[in-house]
């Protein structure tokens, strides 16, 4: 684990600047939206793509807040739909930065839904992990502040995010090696 309180940034002139870390709570957010008939799929429930857009919107807001500037979606992992969402449901999309690298951030998202006209507690209907990259004005990667996990739950999420990152990188490497081998063997061109 790297030092979570600060991260050094080297400028083009060779000088270094410390980037102070930000606590998990500094960028945590909830986006709420009521589902309407225009959000439905052919089965009459809310289309998964609508939920995915809300997830990406909330995660993007968190990534931008944490990084202090533009951030773009690099990947979406493990989007899980646990229960259908219905027209009239009030959906709450809760997002936070779980882990940061040099220019990337993993954002964890939990999707909750409740009936708009009932006083029953919201239930979890989905979850996802997204990776965002902080970018500069030219769209090039830029350093992002380290995240500082505050609670035991935040620390667990940080450690789990490191495991997911290791798996993402290993999967990417294995696929690249397989493709290179197939090209070398004359199977794919």
List the pLDDT tens digit at each of the 189 positions of the chain.
444 566 555 555 554 668 899 999 999 999 999 999 999 999 999 999 999 999 999 999 999 999 999 999 999 988 999 999 999 999 999 999 999 999 999 999 999 999 988 888 999 999 999 999 999 999 999 999 999 999 999 999 999 999 999 999 999 999 999 999 999 998 876
> CA of 111: how far to CAs of 36, 61, 124, 177, in Å?
17, 15, 6, 36
Take residue 146 and report the two structure tokens written for it.
């380290």
Question: Which of these, 63, 69, 71, 74, lies nearest to 28 by C-alpha position?
Answer: 63
**Two tokens, residue 10:** 């080297």
| pTM of the shown model | 0.87
């Amino acid at each position: 684990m790297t030092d979570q309180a600060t991260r050094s940034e080297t400028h083009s002139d060779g000088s270094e600047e410390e980037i102070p870390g930000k606590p998990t709570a500094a960028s945590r957010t909830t986006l709420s939206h009521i589902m309407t008939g225009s959000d439905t799929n052919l089965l009459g429930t809310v289309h998964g793509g609508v939920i995915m857009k809300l997830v990406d919107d909330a995660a993007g807001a968190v990534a931008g807040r944490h990084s202090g500037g533009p951030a773009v979606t690099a990947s979406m992992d493990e989007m899980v739909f646990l229960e259908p969402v219905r027209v009239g449901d009030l959906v709450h999309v809760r997002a936070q930065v779980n882990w940061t690298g040099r220019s990337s951030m993993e954002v964890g998202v939990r999707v909750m839904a409740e009936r708009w006209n009932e006083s029953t507690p919201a239930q979890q209907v989905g979850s996802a992990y997204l990776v965002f990259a902080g970018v500069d004005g030219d769209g090039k990667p830029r350093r992002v502040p380290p995240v500082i996990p505050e609670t035991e739950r935040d620390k667990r999420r940080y450690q789990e995010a490191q495991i997911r990152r290791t798996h993402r990188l290993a999967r990417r490497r294995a696929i690249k090696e397989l493709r290179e081998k197939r090209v070398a063997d004359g199977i794919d061109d």
